[in-house]
Structures are given as structure tokens and as C-alpha cells.
Amino acid sequence: MSKKNKILMSILLGITIIFSTGFKKFSNTPIEAYRVYLKGESLGLIKSKLELENFIDKKQKEIKDKYKVNKVYIPTDLDIVKEITYEQDLKTTEEIYELIKDNSSFTIDGYVVKIKGLDTKDENGKTIKGKNQYIYVTSKKIFTDSIEKTVKSFMKEEDYENYANNTQKKIETTGTIIENLYIKNKITIKKDKIPINKDIYQTEEELSKYLLFGTVEDQATYTIQDGDTIPDIAFNNKISVEEFLIANPDLQSENALLAPGQTVTLGILKPQFSLVEEDHVVKDEEQNFNTRTEEDPNQYTNYSVVKQKGENGLNRVTQKVQKVNGETVSVVGIPSLTEVLKEPVEEVIVKGTKQQSSWSGGYGDLIITKGMFGWPATCSTVSSGFGWRWGTLHDGTDIAGCGYGSNIFAAESGVVVTVSYKYDNGQYITIKHDNGYYTMYAHLCSGCTYVKEGDRVQRGQPIGGMGQTGYATGVHLHFAIWTGPPYAGGTALNAMAFY
């Protein structure tokens, strides 16, 4: 072969190699194939879509065993599109499988539950849009059973069953009837393919724990010591008594007996939905007696005698009470249905006004004793007490049921130091008392402040009206006693310890 022909053959051979290695093969006639896309990127062509789906299902025995399902499906971000093509370079099912398994998640049959988030407010009063919650379960029954179990955590099971079965007893004298029970969040559930990289709940117990605590992690525990009480344990661990009892359903009340060495749960509740309970309540409520002072000019100023002992009255009151996740948030009294069972008896105290000719001693520091503070409202229903709840200290006592605009009274004599508005307290008043303590009165109705900063007020003097301003879900008074200026170096105390 001539040199010229050898060069020509080399060029032709090179061209053949380039075509065979640098370009795809094409047929003269079109074929039917399936292009596989993962997250929008092409993985190549395969001969059969069904063959790939069956191959994936066959390979995932571990997933089937874990979730107790009969079939495993392709990922949700995988698309298999039919094509008519001249291309002949098809990948094998196993080649495509290997490209998928480490880059995406296979799916199983299940249910997606959407719990719509509820709007809240931040510390500046700005609305924060509620975040939707998505929960994945292998069966609808797991979710419905978990919801029911969680609901029962916030109320007595007997009350729930009587409401559900329409077997509540009619109120003859006093008692409570649940008028309405519902979840405030909108909940939707639909069947779908669930990626196995999601948290998929397979048992009622596991999901109930999440719905109650917001996690499936084990909660903190505490070992009972000699002398421990449930209220003390709860407060020392920044939870409410109600939260403690929900986390420890075997203990029925805050007075339940505790044994040294016994282990209890201390988890802070973070419910994943808001259960609203609306009750019709008829109860007997004491009406505090008034105190009247008479002056005796013939007795010295250190003279004080009870001329007539006071006695509390008794009223049968009817209220509409609203609770959210077991916590009372609103109490509305119905005055027209109030029945007076016993009128209160006024207490009369005689005090001397005669000045002594000389006085060498002094009164010393005043000591706070029970009863020294007057009651700040016209009703006595405590809807929420002082203490921890949902991981936050509730620094006052909520008093409800008196009605919108009802009088709020100064609990003791002193000087008004604050008349203002704050996003959470709403319209509020703070009084500094002669003994160094401070009292605060929050959620007053708009335009219902009867005093101004610098005013001197007397115990029992009306200072405002009950309302719902600020971050309040119902008409009530948030009443607090502090050892120093509220939120400015002072310490909140349990107001009920003084009554």
C-alpha cells in the first residue's frame, strides 16, 4: 500500500473512532422509550417504566419491613416520561436505580396531615403568621386515635366520654356542662405517597407524645424526695401544676400522695394544636364583706376594736368559661342569673382618734400579713393563678367573671406611679404602696382609667374598669404584687399568698 493510501486509511479510521465514541447511536427507525428525570435533571433513557418501578419495589425489602407496607414506590421528585426517539443508547434498570438510591428518597403509601398554624403576636405586638405543621402517618386511624388521646390529656376522660356520647347530667343546683369542644386549628388529612426521609409515625403512643410535647425525645424526670409536694415540684421546674398532672396522668390532683424514690415526668408541654372547651358553669361563690371604720374621739390612736364581725355572703353564679388546652382563658358571668343565697355582713371597726401627749416609740417596718391587701375586683373567680405555664412565668393572678367595665379597686393605699399602655398588659396601672410593695392592674378597658400618675389613692378606691386590652383572650384583670418596680428590678410574688 502506498504511503498516500496509508495516510488516507488512518484518517478514515480516526473518523470512525470519533463517531463511535463521541456521539450517541441512533437507529433508522423510531423506538418507544422512557426518559428518567431526577429533580429536573435527565438520568437517561430506559426501555420500561414498569420494570424500573418493580425493580425498586423488589430491592426495598428493608423499607417494607420497617413500615409494614406491601409496596415501595419511586421518589416524588422522579419523573418518568415516555418518548418516541431514534436514540439507541438505553440504560439498564439497575444503572438508573443506582443513580436514584443515593440521591433521593423512595416513597410509601400513607397520609399527610396538615395542621394550620394560628397567628400570634411578638413582644412589640406585631402579628406573627402561624406556621403550618405537616405530620406523616402510615394510617388514618393512628392520627385520629392520637388526637383523641391527646384531647383526653387536657380534661377528665369521664367528661370527654359524656360529652362525646351526649350523656352529660343536667345541672340541678351547681355543676358544669361542656357546651362545645373543638380544635381551633384547621386540620386536613389526605392519602399520598410519603418520602421515607420524613418523620413517619407508626404508633398512636409515639404521635400522641409529639402532639403533646412537640418532640418524641424522652422528657426530663425527677425523683421524689421526702417532703416534696406537686405544687413545689412544678414551680421549681418552671411548669404549672396542670402541666405536671398532664405529663403524669397516674396522679389525679395536686394533693396526690408522693412516695420518696418515685420518678415523675417534668416535660414542658408544647401542644401542636389548640383545643377549645366552652363550659356552662353554675357554682356557689363567696361575696367578700365590706369593712367600715368608725372613729372614737375618746380612745387613743392605737385603739382598734371589731364592733361587728364581718361575714362573707354567698351567691350562686352562672358563668360561661372558655379553656384552651386545659387552661382557663375567659370567664364571663351572667348577672341576670345570679342568685343571692346569703347576704354579706358588714364588718365594723372602731378606731381611736385621740392623740397621746408623747410618743417615744415607732411603728417600725410594716409586715405584710394575710388580709392586709384588699380584693381588687367585684368578683372572686380566679381564672388563672400565679406560676409557670408553657415554660413562661405567669407573674400575676387573673380574676374574671365581673363583666366588662366593672370596677377595679386599689388593693392598698399608695401613690399611682404608672398609667400606661403596653402590647401585652394593655391599659394598666401600677401603684407604689407605703410598705414598699407595688401592685399592678392590667387589661383595663380602653378609656377606663380613673386616676393619673402622682395621684394618692386609698384602699378600696375605684381606679379603673375591667377590660380586654393587650394580649388577653377574654375580659379579666391581671393583678400582680411585686417587691419592687414591676419589670424594672422588682420580683413578682404570688398575690394569693396575701389573702
CB 479 within 8 A of CB 495: yes
Average the pLDDT over each of 132-141, 277-286, 332-341, 437-446 and give the range with the smallest value. 332-341
Average the pLDDT over each of 154-163, 222-231, 270-279, 378-387 and give the range with the smallest value. 378-387
Closest CA to 58 of 117, 101, 118: 101
At residue 22, does pLDDT exceed 70? no
Give the C-alpha separation, 139 to 189, whole Å: 11
Whether 331 and 298 share a structural domain: yes
Q: Is 333 inside a domain boundary?
A: yes
Q: How confident is the model at residue 360 (pLDDT cuts 50, 70, 90)?
A: very low
pLDDT at 17: 36
DSSP assignment string, 196-214: TTS-EE-SHHHHHHHHHHS
With pLDDT > 90 as the criterion, what percentage of the chain qualifies? 56
At residue 369, does pLDDT exceed 60? no
At residue 316, does pLDDT exceed 90? yes
Give the C-alpha separation, 84 to 49, whole Å: 14
Q: Is 175 inside a domain boundary?
A: no
Q: pLDDT of 86-138, one tens digit each? A: 877 899 999 999 999 989 999 999 999 999 998 877 666 788 898 999 999 99
Please state, rounded to an integer, the average pLDDT across all residues of the chain.
86
Average the pLDDT over each of 49-58, 136-145, 299-308, 419-428 and give the range with the smallest value. 299-308
Q: How confident is the model at residue 357 (pLDDT cuts 50, 70, 90)?
A: very low
Q: Is 12 inside a domain boundary?
A: no
Of 266, 287, 322, the one marking the end of a domain is 266
CATH number of the CATH domain containing 279: 2.20.230.10
CATH number of the CATH domain containing 481: 2.70.70.10
Whether 386 and 496 share a structural domain: yes
No. of helices (H) and no. of strands (E), the chain:
9, 31
Domain that holds residue 261: 221-266
Q: Is 8 inside a domain boundary?
A: no
The more confident residue out of 15 and 353 is 353
CB 438 within 8 A of CB 396: no
Of 104, 132, 154, the one marking the end of a domain is 104
At residue 247, does pLDDT exceed 70? yes
Q: Where are any strands of DSSP class E within 75-139?
A: 78-87, 107-115, 120-121, 127-128, 133-137
Whether 248 and 295 share a structural domain: no
Element (H, E) at 383: strand 381-384
Whether 99 and 160 share a structural domain: no
Q: pLDDT of 98-110, one tens digit each? A: 999 989 999 999 9
Site of grid cell 351547681: 174
pLDDT at 301: 66
pLDDT at 3: 44
Closest CA to 41 of 4, 2, 96: 96
Whether 309 and 388 share a structural domain: no
Q: How many domains does the chain have?
A: 5
Give the C-alpha separation, 182 to 164, whole Å: 11
At residue 243, does pLDDT exceed 80? yes
Beta bridge partners of residue 112, listed in sequence order: 136, 190
At residue 259, does pLDDT exceed 80? yes
